[in-house]
């Protein structure tokens, strides 16, 4: 009888592991590393993925979570795609930093979460993490990138606005710059390579601008439109917006009632790259082929594009 019970327990555990691997893309054989740094009087945490056989002088990519999220959740909602893509080339360390009490102190002055009210020094945190990976893993300090979702996208904007020399490029997903009266960042107006990915039917980050409303009891104020957001980066990078090139992604899954198109802009004067992916009828999501468990209140899920792959390719094109 005991033998049968043991067999049943083992089978259940095996089923759980297999389900985690195939459904959640979790790899129990190469889990995330965990670390913490003292920033002022606060302990700041981050998790990171190291590909097996990592190259010398690897690049560094921060994947920054949205509001009211944990760092590991960002790994899940991006379908572990960044980890798997880094594993192929062995050239990137993927970092999932944790926001202060699950939020980031971005540029939105009216935000009421603690990270903003306490004016948490996020730039110092990111600088300290970069130094950590320089010291411990010998990363190429000139090859640092940031992608963020929602509140994390706003955090990417903040770094690019205030400390553009810290990174080589950003990719902001489901985020627009704040309107002037809601902006407490000091923009350097220096050129930065930027990719913006926004859904036209985003119920939280309005594509055409307006008040950001999440439903978590925290205020964030208003943002400008996606076009205005894009135009800021085009101006700072001295791009010729009239020379935009367009790429329509194949409509692989017609049932999602969503298509995506990418625009590329000529920025020869500064050597930067600025691009927009417009997800028609897309919601507040980070599209990828291995995670579809998005809450309905975040809107329609585009199933045509692999945003992590697109983002990583964009970053590699900057090297």
> What pLDDT, in 10s, does the model give residues 44-77?
999 999 999 999 999 999 999 999 999 999 999 9
Please choose, from the candidates 156, 138, 139, 137, the residue with its C-alpha nearest in 3D space to the C-alpha of residue 147.
Answer: 156
Q: What confidence score (pLDDT) does residue 266 get?
A: 87
Q: What confidence score (pLDDT) does residue 289 get?
A: 93
Q: What confidence score (pLDDT) does residue 243 get?
A: 82
Q: What confidence score (pLDDT) does residue 31 get?
A: 83
Q: What are the residues whose beta carbons fall under 8 Å from the beta carbon of 119, sequence distance 6 or more?
A: 105
270-284 burial by CB neighbour count: b if 16+ within 10 A, else e?
eebbbbbbbbbbbbb
Give the tens place of pLDDT for each residue, 146-193.
999 999 999 999 999 999 999 999 999 999 999 999 999 999 999 999
Q: What confidence score (pLDDT) does residue 15 get?
A: 47
The DSSP annotation for 264-291 comes to EEE-TTTT--EEEEEEET--SS---TT-
């Amino acid at each position: 009888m005991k033998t049968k019970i043991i067999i049943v327990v083992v089978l259940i555990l095996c089923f759980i592991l297999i389900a985690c691997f195939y459904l959640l893309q979790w790899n129990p054989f190469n889990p995330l590393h965990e670390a913490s740094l003292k920033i002022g009087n606060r302990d700041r945490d981050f998790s990171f993925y190291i590909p097996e056989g990592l190259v010398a002088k690897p690049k560094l990519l921060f994947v920054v979570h949205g509001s009211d999220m944990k760092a590991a959740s960002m790994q899940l909602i991006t379908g572990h795609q960044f980890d798997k893509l880094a594993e192929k080339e062995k050239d990137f360390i993927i970092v999932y930093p944790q926001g202060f009490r699950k939020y980031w102190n971005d540029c939105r002055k009216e935000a009421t979460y603690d990270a903003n009210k306490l004016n948490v020094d996020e730039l110092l945190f990111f600088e300290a993490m970069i130094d950590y990976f320089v010291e411990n893993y010998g990363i190429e300090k000139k090859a640092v990138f940031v992608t963020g979702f929602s509140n994390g996208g706003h955090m990417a904007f903040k770094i690019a606005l205030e400390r553009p020399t810290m990174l080589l490029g950003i990719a902001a997903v489901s985020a627009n710059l704040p309107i002037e009266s809601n902006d407490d960042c000091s923009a350097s107006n220096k050129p930065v390579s930027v990719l913006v990915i926004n859904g036209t039917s985003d119920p939280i980050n309005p594509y055409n601008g307006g008040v950001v409303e999440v439903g978590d009891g925290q205020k964030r104020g208003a943002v400008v439109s996606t076009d205005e957001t894009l135009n800021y980066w085009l101006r700072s990078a001295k791009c010729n917006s009239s020379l935009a090139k367009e790429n329509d992604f194949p409509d692989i899954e017609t049932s999602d009632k969503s298509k995506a198109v990418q625009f590329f802009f000529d920025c020869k004067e500064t050597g930067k790259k600025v691009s927009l992916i417009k997800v028609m009828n897309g919601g507040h999501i980070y599209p990828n082929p291995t995670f579809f468990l998005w809450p309905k209140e975040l809107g329609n899920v585009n199933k045509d594009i692999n945003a992590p792959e697109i983002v990583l390719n964009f970053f590699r094109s900057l090297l």
